[in-house]
């Protein structure tokens, strides 16, 4: 592969991109182990696809925001390096697929020309920070959470402590107590609140910790009913330090923070967080929300179409896809994007045609749609007509018909059955057979290709996840049905109950049975209340006739959207990153951490320098433990085990307690003097560890 030159003004970004290019070359030359390289590229947004030889690149859009220029840039990049399709995700990212690994540094460089990053969009990092799409325009919000979400994104990007955690860490900000960002299913969730303290209104957040879906859902636990806004970022830094040190690192299926909290309890977790306080970079981190730039408004010149192309459909569209903003006279317009897939041509067309009538602030929503804001009433018809030209004027945004799905077997290694094809079919069932549900925004249908819940099936009113069944000596595509998930507000929720597994081709009938039962028997109750009252056993009996395998047809062995007979072909997922247990690689990484610590000292970032030095010691200690055959599950365990196997036995000298020497960092306020002393300790230990390994 050939080297290239960047033309970027930000030296940190340029360094990132050139490093990725060098690492790709080293990997191709065989000087970097595959597992190590995988970890590195994941932290730079480059993810292996189901199809061999190509990558998915995930573009990180904090709280789903992109300017019109950024939207055009992403579209152009997709044309040049991918297939011309933009996939909008439930994490408010954009993914492009089928990218050559060799071209990813160049692709990244092109994106950064409009300040778009892929850094830490995958891997064991702080992932894209999501937020309610109504943030900043929500009539019910106490204040706009956008500046706080953005400050958090900037603060933790490239932060040493969250580059190589045991697992990913997901964060969400809701705009109000309605909890439209689903904070209850995140590692950290924040809901804005205002309290009057000493006669002054003070901004703060309700904080929730350790939520998650996946195969073992866990509702987040509230740690603060009100945490002052200036303490939010320091609190998260302390949480991440605890997660990094005490989180599981051997079994990725037990490595999310929810498992740590389940294991030790929330009280013990809170004590560990408090113990990190002194060593934090900042004790307070105020965010000047008033200085946060507002979206540029358009000229509001051009067409104000007199009549819609389809007056009846327009009325339904306006009733379901248009909402008033808190800013008087302005409206937000929502766009249903089937399966989150929109072409680059369509994107450029909309950006160009709508630039004079929408604000320069387009949001990707958590249900894989788009939102345009700061629209005036007189331009609604024009926007509708423009959307109709590209078949994106469907009514019912956020309704039962607006079904969320992950890419599933289209591109994901972990996909079992086809989620995107199923979603399209179920959406048709709603639109054609239950049109009244186009107005219903309470019932949510969500589909994932596997149990990992990227399509958020675990909190759906009616959820499905990909699976398989065996019959007649063959394997057929199947769906696990879940019922009863609900958002209750203020961080409270219900997880959906697993009910029954059915052949995939019977999904439409499952939907008909569940909705007809609700229509006939709910007597005015909400679906959340009705399904909770009935319970999983009721739905099992209701759907049991659809689970039988006695009368299968040939079509049952072919998945939705496919032509060939179904077969399970599950690869190795990369969502969680990888474990690296090579002794030589760990020593090399310890050296790299020392170099990073020295570089960070030079910038007077004392807390970061100390954390790099801490990581160097942990890597070196883990290398020696693995050399002795001692398994290492957590960083805290490494410190403890090193005392047992090396200090107590005299194999390594110079320490009364290795753990206490390393953990001194929590007993000191970060300073130049302590950073220099601690770095020297780390360098000396890495030398000693390398010498021991050599002998």
Residues in the chain: 695
Residues 263, 260: Cα–Cα separation, whole Å: 5
Q: Sign of the CA dihedral 232, 235, 241, 244?
A: negative
Assess contact for 60 and 94: CB atoms under 8 A.
no
For the segment 121-153, what is each residue's pLDDT rounded down to a tens digit? 998 999 999 999 999 999 999 999 999 999 999
Q: What is the pLDDT of residue 474?
A: 87
Residues 465, 616: Cα–Cα separation, whole Å: 41
CA distances from 602 to 161, 557, 594, 678 (A): 18, 63, 13, 15
Assess contact for 250 and 579: CB atoms under 8 A.
yes
CA distances from 520 to 227, 397, 427, 454 (A): 45, 25, 21, 32
End-to-end, the C-alpha distance of the chain in Å comes to 38
Residues 51, 44: Cα–Cα separation, whole Å: 20
Residues 490, 193: Cα–Cα separation, whole Å: 10
- Which domains are seen in the chain, by residue range? 11-67+82-112 (3.90.480.20), 130-291 (3.30.413.10), 311-389 (3.90.480.10), 404-557 (3.30.413.10), 583-694 (1.20.120.330)
Q: Say whether 301 sits in a helix, a strand or coil.
A: coil
- Six-digit token pair at 670? 């970060």
Q: Say whether 497 sits in a helix, a strand or coil.
A: strand
Contacts of residue 600, defined as CB under 8 A and 6 or more positions apart, other chains included, come to 160, 608, 609, 612
Q: What is the pLDDT of residue 376?
A: 96
Q: What is the pLDDT of residue 576?
A: 41
**Predicted structure pTM score:** 0.92
Shortest CA distance to 579 belongs to which of 622, 641, 616?
622
Assess contact for 59 and 344: CB atoms under 8 A.
no
The yes-or-no verdict on residue 648 having pLDDT over 70 is yes
Q: What is the pLDDT of residue 1?
A: 47
The yes-or-no verdict on residue 615 having pLDDT over 60 is yes
Q: What is the pLDDT of residue 375?
A: 97
CA dihedral angle for residue 543, residue 546, residue 549, residue 550, rounded to 10 degrees: 120
Which of 241-255, 526-540, 666-680 has the least mean pLDDT? 241-255
Q: What is the pLDDT of residue 214?
A: 85
In terms of phi and psi (left: phi > 0; alpha: psi -120 to 50; beta: otherwise), the region of 79 is alpha
Q: What is the pLDDT of residue 578?
A: 37
For the segment 340-360, what is each residue's pLDDT rounded down to a tens digit? 999 999 999 999 999 999 999
Residues 81, 412: Cα–Cα separation, whole Å: 19
Beta-strand (E) ranges in 348-491? 362-364, 370-376, 404-405, 445-448, 462-471, 474-483, 486-489
Shortest CA distance to 234 belongs to which of 283, 185, 197, 162?
283
């Amino acid at each position: 592969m050939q080297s290239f030159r960047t033309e970027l003004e930000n030296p940190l970004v340029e360094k990132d991109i050139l490093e990725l290019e060098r690492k790709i070359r080293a990997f191709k030359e065989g000087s970097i182990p595959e597992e190590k390289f995988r970890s590195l590229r994941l932290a730079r947004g480059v993810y292996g696809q189901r199809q061999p030889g190509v990558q998915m690149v995930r573009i990180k859009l904090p709280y789903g925001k992109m300017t019109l220029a950024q939207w055009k840039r992403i579209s152009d990049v997709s044309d040049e390096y991918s297939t011309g399709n933009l996939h909008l995700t439930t994490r408010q990212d954009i993914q492009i697929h089928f990218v050559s690994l060799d071209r990813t540094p160049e692709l990244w460089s092109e994106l950064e020309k409009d300040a778009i990053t892929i850094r830490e969009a995958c891997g064991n990092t702080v992932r894209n920070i999501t937020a309610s799409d109504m943030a900043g325009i929500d009539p019910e919000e106490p204040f706009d959470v956008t500046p706080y979400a953005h400050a958090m994104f900037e603060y933790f990007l490239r932060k040493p402590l969250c580059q190589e955690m045991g697992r990913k860490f997901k964060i969400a900000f809701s705009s109000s107590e309605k909890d439209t960002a689903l904070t209850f299913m995140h590692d950290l969730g924040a809901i804005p609140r205002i309290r009057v303290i000493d006669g002054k209104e003070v901004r703060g957040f309700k904080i929730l910790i350790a939520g998650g879906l996946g195969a073992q859902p866990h509702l987040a636990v509230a740690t603060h009913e009100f945490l002052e806004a200036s303490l939010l970022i320091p609190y998260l830094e302390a949480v991440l330090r605890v997660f990094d040190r005490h989180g599981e690192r051997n079994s990725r299926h037990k490595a999310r923070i929810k498992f740590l909290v389940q294991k030790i309890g929330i009280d013990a977790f809170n004590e560990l967080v408090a113990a990190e306080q002194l060593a934090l970079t900042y004790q307070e981190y105020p965010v000047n929300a008033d200085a946060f730039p507002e979206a540029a408004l358009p000229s509001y010149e051009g067409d104000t179409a007199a009549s819609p192309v389809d007056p009846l459909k327009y009325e339904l569209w306006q009733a379901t896809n248009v909402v008033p903003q808190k800013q008087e006279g302005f409206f937000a317009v929502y766009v249903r994007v089937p399966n989150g897939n929109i072409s680059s041509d369509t994107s450029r067309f909309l950006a160009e045609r709508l630039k004079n009538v929408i604000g320069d602030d387009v949001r990707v929503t958590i249900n894989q749609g788009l939102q345009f804001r700061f629209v005036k009433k007189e331009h609604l018809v024009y926007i509708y007509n423009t959307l109709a030209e590209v078949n994106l004027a469907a009514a019912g945004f956020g309704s039962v018909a607006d079904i969320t799905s992950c890419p599933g077997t289209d591109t994901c290694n972990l996909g079992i059955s086809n989620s995107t094809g199923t979603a399209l079919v179920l959406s048709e069932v709603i639109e054609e057979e239950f049109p009244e549900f186009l107005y219903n925004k309470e019932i949510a249908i969500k589909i994932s290709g596997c149990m990992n819940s990227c399509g958020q099936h675990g909190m759906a009113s009616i959820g499905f996840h990909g699976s398989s069944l065996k019959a007649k000596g063959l394997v057929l595509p199947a769906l696990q049905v879940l019922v009863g998930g609900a958002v209750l507000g203020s961080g409270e929720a219900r997880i959906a109950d697993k009910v029954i597994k059915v052949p995939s081709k019977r999904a439409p009938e499952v939907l008909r049975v569940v909705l007809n039962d609700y229509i006939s028997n709910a007597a005015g109750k909400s679906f959340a209340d009705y399904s909770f009252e009935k319970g999983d056993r009721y739905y099992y009996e209701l759907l049991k006739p659809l689970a039988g395998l006695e009368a299968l047809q040939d079509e049952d062995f072919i998945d939705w959207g496919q032509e060939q007979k179904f077969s399970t072909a599950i690869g190795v997922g990369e969502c969680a990153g990888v474990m690296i247990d090579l002794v030589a690689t760990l020593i090399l990484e310890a050296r790299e951490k020392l170099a990073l610590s020295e570089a960070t000292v030079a910038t007077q970032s004392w807390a970061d320098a100390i954390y790099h030095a801490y990581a160097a010691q942990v890597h070196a200690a883990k290398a020696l433990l693995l050399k002795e055959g001692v398994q290492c599950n957590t960083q805290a365990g490494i410190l403890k085990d090193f005392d047992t196997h090396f200090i107590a036995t005299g194999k390594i000298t110079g320490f009364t307690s290795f753990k206490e020497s390393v953990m001194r960092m929590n007993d000191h306020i970060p300073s130049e003097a302590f950073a220099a002393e601690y770095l020297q300790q780390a360098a000396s230990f890495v030398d000693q560890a390398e010498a021991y390994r050599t002998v």
